Amino acid sequence: MLTGVLVGLVIGGIIFFLVQRNRSQVLKVEDGWWGAGVQPDSEEDVTIRLFEVTTSDEELKDLYSRIDQTRPVASLEDSQFNYGFNSQYLQNVISYWRNDFDWKRQVDKLNQYPHFKTKIEGIDIHYLHVKPKKVPEGTTAIPLIMVHGWPGSFYEFYGLIPMLTEPSDPDDLVFEVVCPSIPGYGFSEAPHKKGFDSVCAANIFHKLMRRLGFQQFYAHGGDWGWLVTTNMAQLDPKSVKGLHVNFAPPSQHSVHMLLSIMLGRRFPKLFGFTDVDIQRLYPCKEKLLVEPIKESGYMHIQATKPDTVGRGLNDSPVGLAAYILEKFSTWTNVDFRDLDDGGLTRKFSLDDLLTNVMIYWVSGCIISSMRFYKENFGKGLNQPHSKIPVYVPTGFACFPNELMHTPKLWVQQKYRKLLTYTPMAHGGHFAAMEEPSLMAEDIQKFTKTVEEKKK
């Protein structure tokens, strides 16, 4: 009996040691210099400058000239969006863009929120900083950084921002929102040197939040924003009070994950699988192998030779629109591939879609945005951040039409303090833009949960 107790104590001690060692793991990164040339000896200019999105008649004249010179190519009969963006429908989009879309009006819409730039590690970082107009007496606004992905932009959050900074429910929390553009995206300067990955972006955004006076804050992200904000939680867990994401593909094939795939269909309760999990994961060959291959060709190109295809997209507005908007079709709902119009305007307006495309066009950022794939995947899939669990309180919004379904068990393997896991009624990959009300509700629910626990 005594021997059994001693063995139990030893095993318990080993487990405790391993858990504590894991908990003490913090992601490390060295400060970089991403500006052109050699880093100067002088201290970096840390001033914050107002920024305004602008346009000109010359810019529009050049755009229209390029659109007018596009060379249409007929799609195959009965191909819909299964071969990519349908050419017949593309002509409709181009016609609207050329004749009806009002970029100057959209520029005014972009400028409805205050924009800023500040230099960090040698490059200009662009961001929105939206403060609430009114904060209930006796409370303070909750700082929240929201990070976009590809091929999105800060504009993805325009429908969500007012719901967080000016909530209609008096019982809701009021947020102060910061939306930066990832370096190389939108109006943030592109890194001039190789190696700028998600961890480097996370380090820069930590510096941005400190520069704005936030020692602690919440973070939200989808697509690349999921990884950047996750890295932020790994770099400085004490600064990130809570992490909310709507995309969380498994970082590595753990034993739990493999076992759950093999046995989950027969023994769903053993792995906490719901009917939705079963529907989204099985049959495995189709859902976890064939379907991802159909939608990941872009990733291989961008993770290997982004500058080649990017050069063509940077010269052709029509090519750029087709490349970007195809994702807003199939990533919103894979079944949209079987529609002649790709279902584009079922969830989005052409004005909003083309505004996002224009952000890429006028800033000329398509190549630098695609390089982010090479910088992240080029270092291999087994990076330090992929092995380090997240112990920051986490909330996950599970949208049914997301590119990859992640059951609760899989999310918990990475995010050890998963406080909320919300199966959403509808929505896909661009959830913040597609379903801002649902996203706002879940961010509220998660943040209230964290704040109550802290009390």
Residue 148 is among the residues annotated as catalytic for this protein: no
Which one from 197, 223, 236, 277 is the annotated catalytic residue? 223
Q: How far is CA 393 from the centre of its chain?
A: 19
**Catalytic member of 126, 220, 244, 429:** 429
* Beta strand segments in 27-114, E: 48-51
Residue 281: both structure tokens together: 């994961």
115 catalytic residue (yes or no): no
Determine the residue type at 429: H
CB 100 within 8 A of CB 107: no
Cα of 408 vs its chain's centroid, Å: 19
Mapped onto helix, strand or coil, the DSSP state of residue 319 is: helix
| Tokens linked to 78 | 């009965």
Up-side HSE of residue 271: CA atoms within 13 Å toward CB?
Answer: 26
Q: For 202-223, give one letter per residue: b (16+ CB within 10 A) or e.
A: bbbbbbbbeebebeebbbbbbb
57 as an active site residue: the answer is: no
Find the catalytic residue in 113, 158, 185, 373: 373
Contacts 24+ apart (CB under 8 A), 88-93: 88/340, 89/340, 89/341, 89/342, 89/344, 90/318, 90/321, 90/322, 92/341, 93/321, 93/325, 93/344, 93/350, 93/354
Closest CA relative to residue 93, chosen from 67, 75, 114, 74:
67
C-alpha neighbours within 13 Å on the C-beta side of residue 262: 7
The C-alpha angle with vertex 321 and arms to 320 and 327, in degrees rounded to 5, equals 100
Q: Which residues are identified as catalytic?
A: 223, 373, 429
